[in-house]
Amino acid sequence: MDKEQLQKLYLQEEYYWGMEPSRLAEKILDYIPEDRRKSMKIVDLGAGEGRDSVFLARAGFELIAVDIAPAGLAKAERLAAKRNAVIKTVEADINDFAWQDPVDLVYSIGALQYIEPQNRNRQFSRFKERTLPGGLHVLFAFVEHPDVELAPDWGENEYLYKRTELQGYYADWDVIEAEEVIFDCSSSNIPHRHAASTVIARKPVPGP
């Protein structure tokens, strides 16, 4: 979907992706104890309507929600207010976005396909450089698979990853989890399947 399509979806009153967190967002809590969260900052790349951003903010993290569609960010702010959470929203294109101050965790689900292939080395390098030592990247990317056809609502500005490509950007980090999954989806009310790769990686801490 392009920016205009997302904006149109997010202008609807209903939360297109729902208001409850994804399983990947919930998994973050398994890695970071509650007593450490208030001192940690997360960037959510492609936050959409904010379901995961708000969940993580309520869990205690300082949260920066980034998305290209302002209507999605407005709904994220409303959801945060409804659930007594505090988030900061930033309208930006994931193809050239880079934050200034280092963060503890970079999270993204359902947005990395918008990074054009020629921009990926640059953007992943930026994301890694701007992460503190010991910090985590928790990421999801749609991948090519011989048994899975391209989704019917796939946009011209979306690009699949090779099957091990996402993990490859973290060859110099500690990859904690790497998994490929195939799952059913009914976005745009058209049943179909996706193949995706999830990676959880930790930035090494320099030795003495």
How does pLDDT run along the chain (208 residues), one tens digit per residue? 777 888 898 999 999 888 999 999 999 999 999 999 999 999 999 999 999 999 999 999 999 999 999 999 999 999 999 999 999 999 999 999 999 999 999 999 999 999 999 999 999 999 999 999 999 999 999 999 999 999 888 888 999 999 999 999 999 999 999 999 998 988 777 889 999 999 999 999 987 7
CA 79/CA 50 separation, integer angstroms: 7
CA 75 to chain centroid, in Å, comes to: 17
CB 65 within 8 A of CB 47: yes
The DSSP bridge partners found for residue 185 are 192
Nearest to 48 by CA among 74, 13, 25: 74
Q: Which stretches does DSSP call E strand in the chain?
A: 41-45, 62-67, 88-91, 103-108, 131-142, 174-185, 192-202
User: What are the structural domains of the chain?
Assistant: 3-202 (3.40.50.150)
Question: pLDDT tens-digit profile of 26-76?
Answer: 999 999 999 999 999 999 999 999 999 999 999 999 999 999 999 999 999
Give whole-number Cα distances, 185 to 25, 68, 189, 193, in Å: 18, 23, 9, 6
Q: What is the pTM of this model?
A: 0.95
